[in-house]
């Protein structure tokens, strides 16, 4: 299963991001969406799971979006939240994948048997941080992750 993971679009969905997400069977947006049109464009590519980010609070169109989601990808239990600070200190032992955004800093980090993924920011460039998203290849017995740079 190919899963696209994007975050921190802040109202900007780049053509490079749309191109990178083509062929995904599912798309995850880890918050700070910015505009409802971004969700519409992503949902036109593949089924979409999304959480609300801190910049989406108090926006009428985002009121129904969850702050966290538990997901299952081919048997891999996942937790999706915008800010890593909102990850519970004691995670359920069956959670094998934690997806966050917020920091704009892309990171793929295996901690024991658990994968921590931040796809970085796909929206407006912040400081000198890269503009990225991630793609996961999830099989029943394995998960491979890759960061994709959207700008040279």
Tens of pLDDT, residue by residue over 125-137, are 988 999 999 999 9
Residue 138 confidence (pLDDT)? 94
For the record, the structure tokens of 76 come out as: 């891999």
What's the structural domain count of the chain?
1
Residue 47, Cβ density class (10 Å: 0-12 exposed, 13-18 middle, ≥19 buried): exposed
Give the pLDDT of residue 127.
86
pLDDT for 76 equals: 93
Quote the pLDDT of residue 151: 87
Share of the chain above pLDDT 70, in %: 99
Residue with tokens 């290849």: 137
Identify the CA nearest to 117 among candidates 131, 101, 141, 139: 101
Q: What is the pLDDT of residue 126?
A: 87
Give residue 136's pLDDT.
Answer: 97
Answer yes or no: pTM beyond 0.85.
yes
Collect the ranges in the chain with pLDDT lower than 70. 152
Which range marks the domain in which residue 37 is found? 2-149
In CATH, what number is assigned to the domain containing residue 53?
3.60.21.10
The pLDDT value given to residue 140 = 87
């Amino acid at each position: 299963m190919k899963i696209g993971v994007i975050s921190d679009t802040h109202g900007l969905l780049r053509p490079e991001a749309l191109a990178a997400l083509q062929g995904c069977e599912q798309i995850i947006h880890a918050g700070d969406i910015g505009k409802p049109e971004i969700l519409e464009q992503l949902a036109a590519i593949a089924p979409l799971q999304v959480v609300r980010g801190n910049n989406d609070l108090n926006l009428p169109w985002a009121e129904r979006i969850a702050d966290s989601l538990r997901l299952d990808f081919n048997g891999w239990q996942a937790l999706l939240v915008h800010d890593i600070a909102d990850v519970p200190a004691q995670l359920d032992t069956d959670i094998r994948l934690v997806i966050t955004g917020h920091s704009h800093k892309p990171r793929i980090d295996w901690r024991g048997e658990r994968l921590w993924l931040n796809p970085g920011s796909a929206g407006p460039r912040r400081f000198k941080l890269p503009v990225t998203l991630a793609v996961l290849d999830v099989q029943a017995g394995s998960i491979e992750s890759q960061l994709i740079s959207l700008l040279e």
